[in-house]
């Protein structure tokens, strides 16, 4: 059994770095096509079902032919529309695509509980910083007499 290489999941402790904004560096056509194709291959649903679900979610007709064209290296003129990204992810049951897009720009996506944990951690650091500043101010006030 051939094991699928996960190209979208980032290391939890790796600090994302944006792709250098030099000419040609942000052309991700081949990587995007490969990622879309890999996600469709590992999806528990057929391409027909994915297309039908995307059609239902967007209110626009999406076909298997379109999915095939968006993933085919030979179909350079066919580009995956950004406005379909959320529907695609819902249909294939993943968040890997938005995580990859974020990583290209040096970011990381946190979903659900992870996002809440990160916000709690941020607020805890702010609380600690505020407590430290209050302590410094009280100390300064005590020295003033």
Lowest mean pLDDT across 6-15, 27-36, 93-102: 6-15
pLDDT 10s digits, 58-70: 999 999 999 999 9
pTM of the model: 0.68
pLDDT 10s digits, 82-136: 999 999 999 999 999 999 999 888 888 888 888 888 888 888 999 999 999 999 9
Domain boundaries, the chain: 27-109, 110-145
85 and 97 in contact (C-beta within 8 Å)? yes
State the Cα angle at 85 between 100 and 2, rounded to 5°: 55
């Amino acid at each position: 059994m051939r094991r699928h290489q996960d190209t979208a999941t980032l290391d939890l402790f790796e600090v994302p770095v944006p792709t250098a904004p030099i000419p040609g560096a942000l052309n991700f056509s081949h990587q995007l096509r490969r990622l879309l194709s890999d996600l469709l291959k590992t999806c528990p649903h057929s391409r027909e079902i994915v297309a039908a679900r995307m059609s239902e979610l967007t209110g626009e007709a999406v076909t298997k032919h379109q999915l095939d064209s968006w993933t085919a290296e030979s179909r350079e003129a066919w580009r995956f529309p950004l406005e379909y990204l959320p529907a695609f992810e819902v249909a294939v049951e993943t968040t890997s695509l938005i995580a990859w897009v974020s990583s290209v720009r040096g970011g990381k996506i946190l979903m659900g509980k992870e996002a809440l944990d990160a916000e709690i951690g941020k607020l805890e650091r702010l609380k600690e910083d505020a407590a430290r500043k209050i302590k410094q101010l009280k100390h300064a006030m005590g020295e003033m007499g």
